Amino acid sequence: MKKKWLLPSLAIAPIIATPMIAASCDNKGPINNQNLQKLTSTQIEQIKNSFVFELTEEGRQQNYRDVVELLKNKVNYYLSHQQFNAVQSDVELSKWVKLKWININDIQIGHNLKILFQVDSNTQLLKLKWEVSCEAFGTEGSGEETLEK
């Protein structure tokens, strides 16, 4: 299975952008258009329901900007080591933030799950925005979760 990285653009001051590693959806190699299937509404709902993005009890006692800064630093660290999924189980981060999502390849090989962390300019709350897509079918689902104070 061929893997590819979606390149992130990272900045905290209004945005933290962080795509994760995902399977390629091209027709070169073992994954080709004959093997690709469009996601069902049940699969998209499963992806949507897999996201957990909330403050822990200890996280609620912290300055919200400190939480955002820690998340930014951890995302940058794991991206630089090509281990973005590991941010979900980071010991230091998990003291303040519960962060979880499904491995897209467990649902349907050949799809990309793009994750973007962005500070809402109106509310100043951090949002986790996601989009699942495939080159053969385009965007098949998207949504967002807000990290409430």
Write down the domain spans for the chain: 41-146
CB atoms within 10 A of CB 133: 20
**What's the rounded mean pLDDT across residues 136-145?**
93
Dump pLDDT digits (tens) for 51-101: 999 999 999 999 999 999 999 999 989 888 888 888 999 999 999 999 999
CB atoms within 10 A of CB 24: 18
- φ, ψ of residue 142 to 5 degrees: the values are -160, 165
Dump pLDDT digits (tens) for 62-71: 999 999 999 9
The pLDDT confidence band at residue 10, using thresholds 50, 70 and 90, is very low
* Secondary structure in 3-state letters for 96-114: CEEEECCCHHHHCCCCEEE
Beta strand spans in 37-108 (E): 52-55, 97-100
Residues paired with residue 112 on neighbouring β-strands, in sequence order: 133
